[in-house]
Structure 1
Amino acid sequence: MRSASRLSALITAIAVSLFLQTGYSLLFSPDPRAFPVTASSFPVFHIGEISLSSWTLITIAVALTVMILLQLFVTRHKAGKAMLVVSEDVKGAYLMGIKVNSIVSMTFAIGSALAAIAAALFIVSYPQITPYMGAMPGIKAFIAAVLGGIGLIPGAMLGGFLLGLIETMTRAYIPSSFSQLSEGVVFIVLILVLLLKPAGMLGKSEREKV
């Protein structure tokens, strides 16, 4: 898959995700299970008419810290810069003396660790967990990355914030009987971005001679 197109890699990633979810359901059980720690067990702060859970503050703090550290690693550290080179041109990375196999393994390890952190922050907000509960957040994360600009950490952060704002506003201003429409709005946003600005808000369009 290393020499395959990004679309092929994306389709393969989705296929592997479905394989793991279905495999877990077959080996264990698809039934929901209780998670020992929930967001309701954390204290709630009241600021006027606004109620804010301390777990929400923890989630924001952890997410910002991880994104800042990742951005610094990619832009300042030698290994992070090597990751960018490998993602752009594998053959060029070989010619520069970069250990491509090691960089790919490191990238996979970092991505897995970030996914684990995101999952830990996400599941605490729900009293029950299922093998398929990460499917929609994964799709929304991809849409946020496209919205901000693929490959740009600040873009992914901006895309995620705007996507959450759009979804919240949709749920606030439509009748509760149509609350599921907020999920559809997410995909409408993706289609509009791909039509109007495929590179994302912070991305730059590139012309390639054929």
Structure 2
Amino acid sequence: MTFDMIVQHFFNALMLGSLYGLIAIGYTMVYGILRLINFAHGDIFMISTYFVFIAIAGMRLPWIPAVALSIAATALFGVMVDRIAYQPLRNAPRISALISAIGVSFFIENLCLVIFTGVPKPMPRFEPLVRVMSLGGARILPLAVFVPAISFILVGALLWMLYRTKPGLAMRAISRDIETTRLMGVKVDRIIALTFAIGSALAAAAGIMWALRYPQIHPFMGVFPGLKAFIAAVLGGIGSVQGAMIGGLLLGFMEIMLVALFPSLSGYRDAFAFILLILILFYRPTGLMGEKLEDKI
């Protein structure tokens, strides 16, 4: 493998891993507060691309305002999912909330299938990010630099919010003891809604950048990225924002480098990701940066 190929694979892996990390943060934030795996998160990732498509193709908005509108709409959509599907089950057994999450996922996918049909639609291109550029002998997209940069900025802003603001303090308190936090006067449902809004907005940003890289959108496009991001969250330590990003990067590099070094195994790339999940659950179920939390009786 030449040096130019190594550079090209490095940027591809960095971009893919950053996208996995952004999606994984939504899983890890919701789990950290509610101990709930939001299996509808991949579909929230998907719905953001349709919001962009509608804003550009239907409303004739320029690309950047369309993206801003899509992220805001997706954040609101995530809050609606919480209010409708999860909030009524706050005090129910966890299995009830888990079944609700799976049901919401199927509902969103099939609703989009009815509204938009199963025919893939082209993602409107933003030429400055998808125009191929040369770096020595490597040919990379500006998107491969833009995605990690935006991802690290967003993660930095999120960490600042978590550790330097009152809503962030409330989120960390709820993750430790939701009932005691409620007794201290914190509006728990409002903080949970904010958590869903932030996680959904990050998934929207990832979904839009994903659709720029793979420019076809369809109702089931969030299934595999969502599952991979869940693996990344478990790998990094579900409940840890930093761990989610690190897990995403590790998974992205593993997938790209596996195909680069062993092209004959490219068809098994997804299988290796799920094998990694099984190994992590066997040997380090708390992940790389997760901490052991005991269930309260």
TM-score, normalised relative to structure 2: 0.65
2:288 match: secondary structure:
coil
> Which structure has more helix as a fraction of its residues?
2
CA contact (8 A) 1:38 1:126 kept: no
What's the RMSD between the two structures over aligned residues?
2.2
In structure 1, runs of 5+ residues without a counterpart are: none
Are positions 1:202 and 2:277 aligned together?
A: no
Structure 1 residues 150 and 7, CA, compared in 2 at 3 Å: closer, same or farther? farther
Q: Distance in 2 between matches of 1:208 and 1:21?
A: 33
Give the residue type in structure 2 aligned to 1:182. Answer: R
Point out the more displaced range, 120-129 or 35-44.
35-44
Instruction: Pick from 147, 158, 181 the counterpart of residue 235 of structure 2.
Output: 147
Identity value in percent: 42
Give the residue type in structure 2 aligned to 1:194. Answer: L
Point out the more displaced range, 80-89 or 136-145.
80-89
Point out the more displaced range, 63-72 or 165-174.
165-174
Q: Does 1 or 2 have the higher relative contact order (CA < 8 Å, sep 6+)?
A: 2
CA contact (8 A) 1:39 1:55 kept: no
In structure 1, the residue matched to 2:279 is 192
In structure 2, the residue matched to 1:161 is 249
Are positions 1:110 and 2:198 aligned together?
A: yes
Q: Distance in 2 between matches of 1:121 and 1:114?
A: 11
CA contact (8 A) 2:128 2:142 kept: no
Q: Distance in 1 between matches of 2:232 and 2:122?
A: 29
Q: Distance in 1 between matches of 2:120 and 2:180?
A: 48
TM-score, normalised relative to structure 1: 0.89
Post-superposition shift, 1:175? 3.8
2:140 match: secondary structure:
strand
Instruction: Pick from 151, 165, 190 the counterpart of residue 77 of structure 1.
Output: 165
Instruction: Pick from 63, 70, 73 the counterpart of residue 151 of structure 2.
Output: 63
Equivalent residue pairs, number: 209
Cα deviation, 1:75-123, whole Å, max 9, x if unaligned, reads 1111011012223322111111111121122222222212211111111
